[in-house]
Amino acid sequence: MRSNKIAAGVGAFAGFIFTRLPYMEDGNLLVTNVVVLISGSTTLVAWLLLKKFVKR
């Protein structure tokens, strides 16, 4: 479970960094929140799929 939280956190952080890029920075908090939530969720889903297909 800990690795799932880390994966979601990394994705959310990447989304936050993406919204700080010069062409994305419009000061719109809604856009920032949506991008962070989508990137965090996408990273978590990708991590879970990777864990499912690559079993140790």
The predicted pLDDT at position 29 comes to: 78
Bigger pLDDT: 10 or 55? 10
In three state form, how does the secondary structure of 33-47 look?
A: HHHHHHHHHHHHHHH
The predicted pLDDT at position 24 comes to: 63
The predicted pLDDT at position 14 comes to: 86
DSSP annotation of 56: -
The per-residue pLDDT for range 13-51, each reduced to its tens digit, is 888 888 777 666 666 778 778 888 888 999 999 988 888
